[in-house]
Amino acid sequence: MSQPPGIRPLDGITVISLEHAIAAPFCTRQLADLGARVIKVERPGVGDFARGYDQRVNGLASHFVWTNRSKESLSLDLKQEVAGNILDQLLEQADVLVQNLAPGAAERLGLSFEALHARFPKLIVCDISGYGAGGPYEQKKAYDLLIQSEGGFLSVTGGPGDDQMAKAGNSIADIAAGMYAYTGVLSALLLRGKTGEGSHVDVSMLESLVEWMNYPLYYAYEGATPPPRAGAAHATIYPYGPFPTGDGNTIMLGLQNEREWRLFCEQVLLQPELADDERFAANFKRVENRGVLRALIVDAFAALDFDTVIARLDGASIANARVNDMQGVWQHPQLKARERWRQVATPNGTIPSLLPPASSNAFSPRMDAVPGLGEHSASILAQLGLTAERIEELRICGVI
């Protein structure tokens, strides 16, 4: 390639982030992956409250180490006037501000897009909130599980009984919002390249998750019955889910069309007559008769061990998967073969960290250290022209 080595897409871009928890940190970490300088502004002595969620990673929090590598931490008490002056100096030199403070907090600090655009017309402002600006829920607090509930996710996730609803095993609403904030900032940078002006990116967790809920929404269009909660099985395609094998293991399999159904009957179940059984002659019929069909499959698999079932499924080109736990994922042979893990520094030693999923042949992503609270305060302030004596004064006064 003709591109100079070491160039990343966002080299030279500076992001200031007033962030906590997951949505905004996940957004800005991905910007850092692409080369952006991300200055994470945190409260002195406390920091991003996600630092205290747990101590599972060498004494550090699992959420925090995941979403905060390659950043610089500046501790700054924004309630003090001098801190506001420092933030202004940073924003004057920055390209992007990302914030997911409590509802109304950014406006009270004078950090609304309108106020900032008047002073810094090239600055891109990305606001992440639970419900977005305007509307009756604007000031309502929002956390991931609450948005999973408001967005209808819980209504289609879990077991069949009303008392068996289940949340996602990760912070899916936060992740959705973080992804849309990330892509929103990238599009705003492209737009600024054409117009010369910064713009406002407004991301709500509710709208992000509801976008991901469009399949069950359309399935329930105009009052139709929504997809039922079906545990780990697919609610509207069958057979598509977990099935036990005779040696006590569980296999996940999925059939998507009638060709695969016939192959499954002929080469996996060794019951070719089932392919033409009227009860199972189309996907919607298999869904309607899933109880009967599940019993037939479980009975066939009861005489087989896990490896035999896998071999038959692979031989018939039927999609299948192991039901891995977390240790199984850490040791996953595909991730190992593709060399997807790197070592990243933290204040408490190095840890493995997954490479960003979108690999490029043009550049290597940043995989720099997870910062300690306020680790870069002195160096950032020195770059703004503050003397060592003045920085120490700010530290004594609790500004940093």
**pLDDT value at residue 3:** 55
Q: Quick one: 56 and 140 in the same domain?
A: yes
Closest by Cα among 54, 63, 18 to 38: 18
Do 352 and 208 belong to one domain? yes
Tokens, residue 385: 């022209």
Residue 258 carries which side chain, given as an amino acid letter? E
Per-residue model confidence (pLDDT) at position 30: 98
Residue 111 shares a structural domain with residue 152:
yes
CA angle 190, 182, 78 (to 5 degrees): 105
Instruction: Report the CATH number that the domain containing residue 140 is assigned in CATH.
Output: 3.40.50.10540
Quick one: pLDDT at residue 162? 78
- The DSSP output letter for 52 is G
233 domain residue, yes or no: no
Residues 205 and 257 in one domain: no
Same domain, 310 and 359: no
Cβ atoms of 39 and 90 within 8 Å: the answer is yes
Residues 319 and 345 in one domain: no
- The reported pTM is 0.91
Q: Of 299, 323, 347, which residue constitutes the final position of a domain? A: 323
What's the confidence (pLDDT) of residue 230?
86
Q: Is residue 388 in a domain?
A: yes
Number of Cβ within 10 Å of residue 278's Cβ equals 8
Give the domain range for residue 366.
14-213+337-396
Domain with residue 247: its CATH number is: 3.30.1540.10
Question: Sheet holding 250-254: strands in order across?
Answer: 240-244, 250-254, 319-322
pLDDT along the chain (400 residues), means of 10: 74 97 97 98 94 95 97 95 94 97 91 96 97 93 94 93 88 97 98 97 97 95 91 91 95 94 96 95 94 96 96 96 93 96 96 95 95 96 94 92
Q: What is the count of structural domains for the chain?
A: 2
pLDDT at residue 231 in the model: 86
Cβ atoms of 300 and 269 within 8 Å: the answer is: yes
- Examine the domain organization and report whether 254 and 297 are in the same domain: yes
389 and 293 fall within a common domain: no
Position 106 scores a pLDDT of: 92
| Domain annotation covers residue 5 | no
Question: Is 117 considered catalytic here?
Answer: no
Is 330 part of a structural domain of the chain? no
Show which of 323, 345, 374 is a domain's final residue: 323
Q: Which of 75, 67, 72 is nearest to 50 (CA)?
A: 67
Q: Would 231 be classed as within a structural domain?
A: no
Distance CA 8, CA 256 (A): 40
Q: In terms of domains, do 185 and 131 share one?
A: yes
Same domain, 59 and 164: yes
Do residues 354 and 310 share a domain?
Answer: no
> Which regions of 207-272 does DSSP assign to beta strands (E)?
240-244, 250-254
69 part of a folded domain: yes
What is the spatial distance between Cα 125 and Cα 115, in angstroms, rounded to a whole number? 11
Q: What is the C-alpha to C-alpha distance for residues 49 and 51, in angstroms, rounded to an integer?
A: 5
| Residue of 117, 200, 234, 332 with catalytic role | 234
Task: Judge whether 44 lies within some domain.
Answer: yes
Same domain? For 187 and 279 the reply is no
The rounded Cα 372 to chain-centroid distance in angstroms is 22
List % helix, strand, coil for the chain (3-state, nearest 5): 45, 15, 45
Assigned domain for 132 exists: yes
Among the three residues 266, 301, 323, which one is the final residue of a domain in this structure? Answer: 323
Amino acid at 72: E
